[in-house]
A and B are shown apart, each in its own frame.
Chain A
């Protein structure tokens, strides 16, 4: 059986969530906006999902808007806040390590005249709250900083950033908590943000559903128009089964959080200990302020994509950092922002653990990973050697006198 160590990309749907969803895919199929009994049953499920998600996050049900996932929620937060705040200002402050659903959305807004400030991070991937505050001018309408990074697992000092942003009237604070949600405690009463994004499939809920928390009284413009669903903030027939599955998965994740996070942290640490340091492999991200389930590395001199391919063939599923960029020479913008040279960033590897990861899997994975890295390092050396010899090899009657370059 292959070992799945890519939970940061997605997780399996947990049984309890599936079971909660099934009635809404079968007998309770009604449209949640219909006034009849069928609609009312579906509506009840949807309302309950709002309540559960709100409860899990320390919010109120009307502050939760279900979306098609994290990307849509981030788009709604950023574009919605930008267009709503346009009369007041045009400056948006973010960081250089955000997920593309934030990074590419602000690039889009830039084309419409918004001024985008992308703040640098330190070598661990953390942004300095003082710099966030310094970048926040009277023209600033929105600050968006992720709660935890999806590639290296570094957790941002959101509470400190929020405390500083609060001194500036009218600036909205958004945080992308998609990667943080499975393992970090999220309490909106303490976190003090205006907008927060989560996605169900990162915590064993279904794909295709996410949520945006919109603090009561926050004005953002809808980005999808049509019906009056989600209190006019997100038109379109509600994905009731998805919302129900998400609510159930989140509810369970929160209830089990202490236990799961502790166990995952321990397994992750043992994996990291086995890998880091072998043949110059170094761990990336913050040493302590990090997600429990993500172990990220750089294996110098070995192309990360080659490593994930070799590991997949050896039965270990992992990633170079983000599932969205395939075969690209485009190296991780997160690692380059953290100051790693492009050559090193090419060697990026990410292993991410989940609730269902076992100690036996980690023991086996550590063994296979260490052996595969050693094998690839030898292979890389061998190939370099072959390159050198083929560069001086010239076939002909007498190769000893021959001399010709490769090209």
Chain B
């Protein structure tokens, strides 16, 4: 179809197949077409491009905090699967519980979810509220991926908590 979109890899670096986590945007152009793909269809992939990666040599003492909304969890899934020894905490903001993709792949104590539109009618919670009320280590390295409003708010919260700008890395959706 001749249209490019950028997606983060979901699979681990050494997996046999490359996986992507893509939400079908109803009025989009590319994702609805991808949703109708069948095994055997040809999809061209270029890249990889970009800098949203962990350091090539992980420092054992480093603690990583990942903050994602929706499918913004994709690069963090790849990080966690690639480096099983990674010391991380993942904050995941979703609208509905079924967006907690592959929850089992994250250690119980490392995964915190905020559901903004719970099905049971209870009041929802945004991930930015969760991180605002959580004690966070200002010496940790922070990776943020997801919608830009979350990222704008999260950066502001992290700076208020004393996290230096050089320890915050972002990948913004558009």
Q: Do the two shown chains form a genuine complex with each other?
A: no
